[in-house]
Amino acid sequence: MKKILLVATVYRIGERIYPIIPELAKEYHIDILRTAQMSNNNTWYGDNDYRLLFDKLYASHVNKIYTDSTPNINSYDLIIFDDCRPRNGLKEISAEAKSAGIPTISNYEGNGYFDLDNVERDIKHWDYLSLFGTKDFDLHSNHPHGDHKKFLKGGIPANDKLKEYDNNEKNILIIVNFLGNRPSPFNIQVDENFINICGLNRLQQAYDKNIIFKLKSRKDQPDIDLDINYIKKIADGLKYDIVIDCEDDNELICNSFMVISAPSTLALKAIQKGIPTICIKGSGLDGCFYDYKGLVELDTHSIYKEVERQYNEGRDEEFIKNTIECGSDYTSTEQYIKNIKEII
């Protein structure tokens, strides 16, 4: 069997491709290198240690997981990196692989990677960059420093699992990028003004749904109680729960009646499931949502009008088709593995 090394650095980035591991292991010898935030040498800064979840889901499918040492790079036929940025030692591993003639695949960092200034900087370090779909493939290929042969349309394999879940419409989900209790590079944060303009009190009363605030765990904000207490302050009068490091975000999404979010890859799951999803301009990078009809201003009328439109028109098939390779029928994993087979 040919050997593949998958380098796992940041769970919140890599989780989009990690589900290929069990399928790859049916045909290839798989090793894992857990480094950077996924290393055992780091203190986990969230409320649930995703490294434990990673091992629970994937350890039984692989030959070995390296956590404190780097394996012999020359022994592999392919190296897959969960990130596309040359950091956390990835650049050095890639350089070693390149000198040995071993192909490397890096993966789209996230929704913000529509900044084409990064293409020239990053693509030189990898043989291939796996993108979400046709939209970003065309964008990158047309860049002066782009080479369409280096770009792969791999979709988001983790989202394939969505097909196993029913939509239960239990909650109104708020996907938070930045709260108003800390500096933010964006004009809009989730604060008392945000809650009022979104009309969360009115939505809760009208539909009798619980509200869930999905927060990000951040390395530069290790005290999660600060965020929890801030939510308590601004959400007074609402019936709500707070979720930070969620073990099953597919279930979280599919339990949602509607979603209000920053432009986020997590919101793509809700869009794939046909759940009314509002993305608020100015609360994050537009990225792959630049042409999404549900990307609206923080304005009460715009939000309610868009929710109504989505309920009437249903799932946005055109957006899904252009944004996520094989996202319409939840077969991104098959496409991603097909790309690997064509390389090795």
Domain boundaries, the chain: 3-156+329-343, 162-323
Question: What is the DSSP secondary-structure string of 50-102?
Answer: HHHHHHHHHGGGSSEEESSS---GGG-SEEEES--SS-TTHHHHHHHHHHTT-
- Banded pLDDT at 122 (limits 50, 70, 90): low
- Give the Cα separation of 271 and 61 in Å (integer): 30
Q: Is residue 215 a contact partner of residue 249, using CB atoms and an 8 Å limit? A: no
**Beta strand extents in 197-342 (DSSP E only):** 210-214, 240-243, 256-261, 277-280, 295-296
Select 162-323's CATH number: 3.50.50.60, 3.40.630.30, 3.40.50.300, 3.40.50.2000.
Answer: 3.40.50.2000
**For 193-209, what is each residue's pLDDT tens digit?**
999 999 999 999 999 99
Please name the residue ranges forming H helices in 209-282.
Answer: 224-234, 249-254, 265-272
Is 90 exceeded by the pLDDT of residue 115?
no
Residue 180's nearest CA partner among 166, 191, 169, 193 is: 191
Q: Which residue has the tokens 């196993």?
A: 164
The mean pLDDT of 140-164, rounded to a whole number, is 87
- Distance CA(118)–CA(141), nearest Å, equals 13
Phi, psi for 245 (deg, rounded to 5): -85, 105
As a whole number, mean pLDDT of residues 79-104 equals 92
The whole-angstrom separation of Cα 327 and Cα 139 is: 19
Among candidate residues 62, 76, 66, 58, the one with its CA nearest the CA of residue 25: 62
Per DSSP, 322 falls in state H
Mean pLDDT of 48-69: 94
DSSP-derived 3-state class of residue 308: helix
How far is 140 from 116, CA to CA, in rounded Å? 7
- 236, 207 Cβ separation under 8 angstroms: no
Domains 3-156+329-343 and 162-323 agree in fold: yes
Which residue reads 């049916």 in tokens?
Answer: 26
CA atoms of 180 and 157, how far apart (whole Å): 33
- Whether residue 42 is predicted with pLDDT greater than 90 in this model: the reply is no
Domain 3-156+329-343 matching CATH 3.40.50.2000: the answer reads: yes
Question: Do residues 153 and 137 make contact, with C-beta atoms less than 8 angstroms apart?
Answer: yes
Give the mean model confidence (pLDDT) for residues 60-73.
93
Mean pLDDT (whole number) for 318-323: 97
- pLDDT, tens digit (0-9, with 9 covering 90-100), for 180-239: 999 999 999 999 999 999 999 999 999 999 999 999 888 777 788 999 999 999 999 999
Q: How confident is the model at residue 68 (pLDDT cuts 50, 70, 90)?
A: confident
| pTM for the structure as a whole | 0.95
What confidence score (pLDDT) does residue 223 get? Answer: 84
Per-residue pLDDT for 177 more than 80? Answer: yes
288-311 CB burial, b ≥16 within 10 A, e <16: bbeebebbbebeeeebbebbeebe
Contact 344, 103 (CB under 8 A): yes
Mean pLDDT (the chain, rounded): 93
